[in-house]
Structure 1
Amino acid sequence: MAADTPDRPTLRERKKTKTRAAIRKATYRLAAEEGWDAATTDRIAAAAEVSPSTVVRYFPVREDIVLTDENDALMEARLRARPAGEEPLESLRAVVLEAVRTALDREPEETRLRARLMVEVPSVRARLTETTAETGRRLARALADRSGRDADDLEVRIFTAAALGALREATVYWAERGWTDDLIPLLDRTLDTLRNGLAPRTRPRARP
C-alpha cells in the first residue's frame, strides 16, 4: 500500500469524510421523507449506522449537518487564485457561482431541500446566520489580502457581510417560490443589484 502523502488524505481523514457524508445523507433522507423534526440525533445515527455520540462529535449543532460542508476552505483558496486586479465583487461572483453550480449538478435534491429548510425551520434559519458569519470570516481574509487591507477593516466586513447576506436572501427567495426560477441567474442578478444599487422601476405611461 502506498504511503499517505501531504497531497493525499490519510486513511483517518478519508474515514472521517466518509462518516460525515453518511450522516449528511441520512439526515437529508429523513428530513425529505418525514420532516425536520423526525431527523433526531438518534434516528440519524441509526440511518447512518453510527452511534449518536458520533453524530454529536461530528456535528455538535444538528442544524450544521445541512448547513455546513467542506467548501469554505475551497472557496477561500479559489478566491485567492482569482486574477490580480479583478474587482472584489467580480471575484466573489465567480467563486460563489462556481460553488453553487457544482452543488446543483452533484446534489440537486439536497440543495433544494437545504433551501426549503432555511425557509420553513426557524432553528435552521437562525443557525444559518452563524454559519454564514464563519464563511464570511474566511472570505474576508482572502479579500483583505487581495486588496491590501486588514481582514477586520470596517469596509471589508461590510462588503463581505452585504454580499453573503444578499446571496442568502436570494436563496430564500428561490425556495419560497418553489424553485421555479434558475438559481444561478438569481444570484447573478443579486450581485448586480449590489453593484448597481436599486433603480426605480419604470412604469408604463398611462394612455390618454
Structure 2
Amino acid sequence: MSVELSGEEPAVRGLRERKKERTRRTIREEAFRLFRTQGYNETTIEQIAAAAEVSPSTFFRYFPSKEQLVLADDLDPLLIEAIRAQPPDVAPLTAFRNAVEAVFNQLPAAAMAFEQERQALVYHVPELRSAIGMEMERNIEMVATVMAERVGGTTDDFEIRVFAGALTGAGLAIARITPMNLENIGRMLDLLEAGLPLGHAEPGAPD
C-alpha cells in the first residue's frame, strides 16, 4: 500500500497542475494576441495580466519577465523525453532525428503555429534578439546533458559539446530564415549527417 507523503490525493494534485497549465497557456496566448495587435514593445505586463484575467503578481509566478514569456520553449521537455525514449543502440544523431519526428508528428496545428510565431518574434524584435546568445548556451547545455546520458559521458566531454554545439548552432542558423517544421529540420540533419557537403547537391535533393 502506497502512502501519499504530501497528504494530498493524486487527483487533487492533477487538477491543480492542469489549472496551472491552463493559466500559463492563457497568459502566453493573450500576450501574443497583444503583440500582434499593438506590438511587442508597446505591450506591458499589466496589459497582458489584465487580458488573461490575472494579477501582475500571478504573471510573475509563471514568467520572470515579458522577455522570458517569449523565450520559453515548450517543446524542450517533450524533445528531451522523446530522446530518452529512444533505444540505447540508436546513434545519437538518429535518436535526435527520431525524437524530433515523434514530437512534431504529435504536435497540434495550433501549437505548431504558436511555436513558429514565437520563433519569428525572437528574430525580429531587437530586444529579444539580444537574448539569442544566452538561449544558444542554454540549448547547448540541454542537448549535451541528454546526449551525455545516452553515451555514458559527461557534459564537459569535448565530443559531446561539439555535437551539442553543431546541432544548436545549425538550428539557430536556419531559424531566422525558414519556418520551424519537420521538413526543414530534416534537411538540416541530412546536411549534418552528410558532413556538410558545401558546393555539392544537398542530401536528398533531386539530381
Instruction: State whether TM-score is above 0.5.
Output: yes
CA distance, structure 1, for counterparts of residue 139 and residue 103 of structure 2: 13
Paired amino acid for 2:142:
R
Over the residues paired in the alignment, what is the CA RMSD in angstroms? 2.5
CA distance in 2, matches of 1:170, 1:130: 17
AA at the equivalent of 1:189: R
Per-residue deviation, residues 136-175 of structure 1 (Å, max 9, x unmatched): 3233222112112112212212211220221122221115
Report deviation, 1:96. Answer: 2.5
8 Å contact from structure 1 (residues 73, 138) kept in 2: no
* Structure 2 gap segments, 5+ residues each: 1-7, 202-207
Deviation at 1:86, TM superposition (A): 1.3
Taking a change above 3 Å as real, the CA distance of residues 104 and 130 of structure 1, as seen in their structure-2 partners, is farther
Of structures 1 and 2, the one scoring higher in RCO (CA 8 A, sep 6+) is 1
**CA distance, structure 1, for counterparts of residue 99 and residue 79 of structure 2:** 6
Q: Secondary structure at the match of 1:173?
A: coil
Q: CA–CA distance in 2 between the matches of 1:152 and 1:11?
A: 40
**Distance 1:23-1:104 versus aligned 2 partners, 3 A rule:** same
Which residue in 2 is equivalent to 1:167? Answer: 171
Deviation at 1:14, TM superposition (A): 2.3
Report the residue type matching 2:156 in the other structure. D
- State whether structure 2 residue 10 is matched by structure 1 residue 4: yes
Is the 1:68–1:131 Cα contact (8 Å) retained in structure 2?
Answer: no
Distance change (3 Å), C-alpha of 1:33 and 1:103:
farther
CA distance in 2, matches of 1:124, 1:99: 26
**How far apart are the structure 1 equivalents of 2:101 and 2:134?**
21
How many residues were matched structurally?
A: 193
The CA distance in 2 between the partners of 1:102 and 1:36, in whole Å, is 30
Which one of the candidate residues 71, 74, 78 is aligned to 2:78?
74
- The partner residue of 2:191 within 178, 190, 193 is 193
Q: How much does 1:112 deviate?
A: 2.8
Deviation at 1:102, TM superposition (A): 4.3
Q: What is the TM-score with the length of structure 2 in the denominator? A: 0.80
Letter in 2 for 1:116: A
| SS of structure 1 residue aligned to 2:41 | helix
Q: Residue 151 in 1 paired to residue 159 in 2?
A: no
Identity percentage of aligned residues: 33
**119, 140, 144: which one aligns with 1:140:** 144
